[in-house]
Amino acid sequence: MGLYQKRDRSQVYDELIDEFMEAIVGRYGQNTLIQFEDFGNHNAFRFLRKYREKYCTFNDDIQGTAAVALAGLLAAQKVIAKPLTEHRILFLGAGEAALGIANLIVMAMVENGLSTEEAYNRIWMFDKDGLLIKVRCL
């Protein structure tokens, strides 16, 4: 399946994606929903930021999974009578889905009264090398 060659990550790659986006909207109209799937962390978040004001885009891993996970947490808070803002959440892995879920949870916590910094302090990421801390991300 597909081409057996190394994926191009140069400016040519970005130009191809730009051309694709323009062609799809040119053919099907501005209200066409374009779903990104399996672009990898770096490109997935970058493309969502790049195209958010110009095209109707959606990333299933980042946004779809996050919406379902947050819905589950909001439903659970009703059962356990403890608001989302009082929870600490640990993620095993820090891929697209985990980062998308974490970002949406932070947004929900902020909407419910926490500062952004307080909300971030309630989110923890753990991967194969251990807890993610600032010195590992630099």
Say if pTM beats, i.e. exceeds, 0.85: no
pLDDT category, 136, cuts 50, 70, 90?
Answer: low
The string of DSSP letters for 1-55 reads ----SPPP-SHHHHHHHHHHHHHHHHHH-TT-EEEE-S--HHHHHHHHHHHTTTS
Question: What are 17-57's pLDDT values in tens digits?
Answer: 999 999 999 999 999 999 988 777 778 889 999 999 999 99
- Answer whether residue 3 is part of any domain: no
The CATH number assigned to the domain holding 96 equals 3.40.50.720
pLDDT value of position 138: 54
Tell me the pLDDT tens digit for each residue of 79-107.
999 999 999 999 999 888 999 999 999 99
Number of folded domains that form the chain: 2
Q: Quick one: pLDDT at residue 129? A: 87
Same domain flag for 123 and 84: yes
Residue predicted with more confidence, 10 or 19: 19
Chain-centre distance of CA 114, in angstroms? Answer: 21
* pLDDT value of residue 126: 93
Range of the domain at 79: 62-131
Residue 2 lies in a domain: no
Q: Is residue 110 part of a domain?
A: yes
Distance between start and end Cα atoms, the chain = 36
Distance CA(100)–CA(84), nearest Å, equals 17
- pLDDT average, residue stretch 133-138: 66
My answer on whether 51 and 80 are in the same domain is no
- Residues 22 and 76 grouped into a single domain: no
The verdict on residue 118 lying in a domain is yes
Compute the average pLDDT of residues 65-84. Answer: 94
